[in-house]
Amino acid sequence: MHPEKKEADSQADLRLSPPSRFFRLAWIVLRWILVSLVCLWLAFCTAVGPLYRKDSTIAAFSWPNAVILIVTFLIYLGLVGLMVSLSLRESRTRAFLRTLGSKLLRLLQQAGRLAAKALLPIGRKIRSRFPVINKGDKGNRRNKKKEEGSKEKRRIFCQKMKVWSVRHTQSPWQIALVIGLFWGVFLFFIPSVFSADAISQWTEVNRWMWFLHGGRPSYSDSFNIADIYPIAHYLWPTTSTYLTNQHNIVLTLITGFLVEMSSRWTGSLDWGLIAASVLQALFALFCVCVTLPRFFRYCRPRRVYRDPKGAGRQQEIRQEAGPWIRLIVLLFFALNPLAVFSMGALTKSPVFAYAFLWWFGIWYQILSTPNSRKISPRTIIGLFVSSLAMLVSAKYAVYIIAAQIVLILICDRTRWRVWLIGLMAPLLIFQIGLNVAISTGSIINGDPIESRGVQVQQIARVMKLDPLNISPETKQELQPIFNLYAMGNTYFPNDADRVKSSGSDSKVETYKWKTVTAKDMEKFNHAWLALGRRNPVIYTDAMLAKIYGYFDVNDKPYTSVSYYLSTPQLDTQTEWLKSWFPWMRKGLRDLTDDLQDLPLIGWIIRGNFYVVAALLLMGAELILRRWKHLLRQFPLLLLMGVMMLSPANNFDRHMLPVAFVFLLMAIEFCHETRRHRARTRRSYLM
């Protein structure tokens, strides 16, 4: 650094008034407090994990749990501090790691020389016993030359392979060929992955098409498809309809229509299920192959320099991602069970996850483009379609896109036309269309009980552990909604489906969806709060037991993505598909379950590992004040809130969006770090 520059910086710091220095320090402290609270929450979930895996209570929290809490908190906070330190212009940590690395390399070289010296007498004895090997000094010199030549050839070959691998993973079609090869092999052995959701979608379409052709299937007088994931009858329209928004109406129509056509033309559901899975896999492949090049292209600037034609402007020479980064990302999408098993799984979460990946990549491209450059119509159309795909695949996408519209209009109003077309237009089109369909009685809306998983679990845990500790007034308000004692008997900490009557006709009725009214539901929150005041510890236990697994890397998934490889519906609803390589389904499922038991390898195939890693990375970005990056990643926080409100604990498919974008977030973080260092270095040299 130039002395003049250093002196100018010190004088600038001295010119800061005491209030300015105070507010600057307070702002730094506040950011670290927020990050510390996040690390404390993650450490707390890890510490209480052993308790709730034994079905214990927070009251049993003791010194072993406190040790886990402290150690985990220090590890997480240390990781954030390490990322922040490595991102600074003058990082002592980076210099220390470089020094440590060089010393370790020297130590390994010395150990190798000592080992060679110790083994040299043994080698001489062996060579003396085999005179063919001993060719004299001339032969040794020839062998050394051959070794040096082979080393040089290997070095040149490795360099060529690096260049070749980068050159052949540039465009979307090249990435599609690489990943499509692995996915194609998987689809050959396992052509369709589905569960009860796909069968419910087909049943809805089947009854609806029968009704359109003059049939009159049972509606409210017998067990209906809307009773499986129960939709309260007060939400049903007076006129008969057979479609619901339980599994998202657009996905229901697509999947249900394909399976229904297969049933009519072939007499079985097999080909329709395969067609739906292949169609979804093609969509997933498209989302991956158009997103990865965006992050490979914007990675690692070579240098920042002043433009001689522009007054004071800086330009950046970008260097694309290297072969190792590309290899890691491609291997994740080609081999990781989170990506492979879900790309053709006929549930709504994988469709949303891949649509979110596409949407996330477009956001990265738009916000990385300078304001002086226009956004291409192709990119705007991509933002529109990806937003629409998110909306039709998950109900909570409405809140994610609405929140993002508000934030982006506050932070970047210069591109309001882009946000109007790419975000506002699909939101309005989808929401207006859905409201019209519901208000006209064309479809039945979903039941709001689906988003009350934590509240329902808290009530059920009280009825299991302390059923007498409920006031008569609270009991009177809850009895029209729930069968309270049945809730206590069926309570299971990891899953709220059992206490909200999800299941087939033979299930235990806990949620009185047939008789509950809108007036009864208005009293729900009041009764829930009143019961919570009398049972605060039980309420805390129910909440933590329901959500801790999403933030504890040591907790195995309650339902992993491998579950869908072999479901009961495969045996009961298919003709020949259940006999197509059944050993492959079972083998992959068992292998995945075994790998998840391993301490470190198991983490990379669990969704909660990526949730924790994403939170730590966002904490480092908060410390570094990378507001534009946090704006792009804000939807991940909303998705984590959705996980906590979902019916099940540590459900892998709810964490797929975070898992898919984490590696891209890491690339983005490294890119911004190197760009900041290069820009700062260049500004000091000029």
Residue 60 per-residue DSSP state: G
Report residue 674 CA to chain centroid gap. 26
509-520 pLDDT, tens digit each: 888 888 888 898
Q: Which of 263, 284, 291, 137 is nearest to 206 (CA)?
A: 263
Three-state DSSP at 305 gives strand
Amino acid at 410: I
- Report whether 357 contacts 389 (CB < 8 A): no
Q: What is the mean pLDDT of the chain?
A: 83
Greater confidence (134 vs 62) lies with 62
- Is residue 364 a contact partner of residue 669, using CB atoms and an 8 Å limit? no
pLDDT band at residue 303 under the 50/70/90 scheme:
very low
Tell me what pLDDT residue 12 has. 44
204, amino acid identity: E
Q: Hey, what's the torsion of the CAs at 439, 441, 443, 444, to 10 degrees?
A: 80
With CA atoms as reference, report the closest residue to 554 among 591, 594, 614, 598.
598
Handedness of CA 234, 238, 240, 244 (dihedral sign): negative
Intra-chain end-to-end CA distance of the chain, in Å: 10
Q: How far is CA 554 from CA 38, 42, 595, 608, 622, in A?
A: 18, 11, 13, 9, 26
Which H or E run includes 317? strand 314-318
Single out the residue of 538, 543, 496, 549 nearest to residue 49, CA to CA.
549
Over residues 609-629, the mean pLDDT reads: 93
Alpha-carbon distances, residue 139 vs 119, 130, 134, 556, 573 (angstroms): 21, 15, 8, 59, 72
What's phi and psi for 480, nearest 5 deg?
A: -65, -15
In degrees and rounded to multiples of 5, residue 44 shows phi and psi of -65, -45
User: Per-domain residue ranges for the chain?
Assistant: 448-546
Please report the DSSP string for 435-498 in residue order: HHHHHTTSSBPPPGGGG-HHHHHHHHHHHHH-TT-S-HHHHHHHTTTB-HHHHHHH-BTTBSGG
Dist CA 605 CA 593 (whole Å): 10
Highest mean pLDDT among 163-172, 387-396, 677-686 belongs to: 387-396
Per-residue confidence (pLDDT) for residue 618, from 0 to 100: 95
Look at 585 and 6; give whichever has higher pLDDT.
Answer: 585
Helix, strand, coil share of the chain (percent; to 5): 75, 5, 25
Specify whether the CB–CB gap between 289 and 179 falls below 8 A. yes
**Predicted local distance difference test score (pLDDT) of residue 284:** 95
CA distances from 89 to 97, 491, 524 (A): 15, 54, 55
CA–CA separation, 651 and 656 (whole Å): 10
What pLDDT, on a 0 to 100 scale, did the predictor assign at position 91?
Answer: 64
Reported as a single tens digit per residue, the pLDDT across 47-94 is: 999 999 998 999 999 999 999 999 999 999 999 998 988 877 766 666
CA distance 657 to 390: 11
- What 3-state DSSP class applies to 511? strand
Tell me what percent of the residues of the chain surpass a pLDDT of 90: 39
pLDDT at 100: 62
Q: Which of 282-291, 314-323, 376-385 has the lowest mean pLDDT?
A: 314-323
Q: How far is CA 632 from CA 35, 400, 629, in A?
A: 18, 12, 5
Token pair of 135 as six digits: 């060719």
Q: How many CA atoms lie within 13 A of 243 on its CB side?
A: 23
Model confidence pLDDT, tens digit, residues 651-662: 888 999 999 999
Sequence-distant (6+) residues with CB within 8 A of 651 are: 557, 558, 559, 643
Q: Tokens for 652, please give them.
A: 């892998």
* pLDDT of 133: 46
Beta-bridge partner residues of 317: 303
d(CA 160, CA 89): 33
Q: How far is CA 327 from CA 354, 421, 668, in A?
A: 20, 35, 16
What is the DSSP-derived secondary structure letter of residue 132?
A: T
pLDDT score for 156 = 78
Can you tell me the distance from the alpha carbon of 629 to that of 631, in angstroms, rounded to the nearest whole number? 5
Specify the amino acid at residue 153: K
pTM: 0.87
- Give the largest Cα separation in the chain, rounded: 102
**Pairwise pLDDT comparison (246 vs 122), residue with the higher score:** 246
Q: Does the pLDDT at position 389 exceed 90?
A: yes
Structure confidence by residue, pLDDT tens digits, 315-335: 554 567 778 888 899 999 999
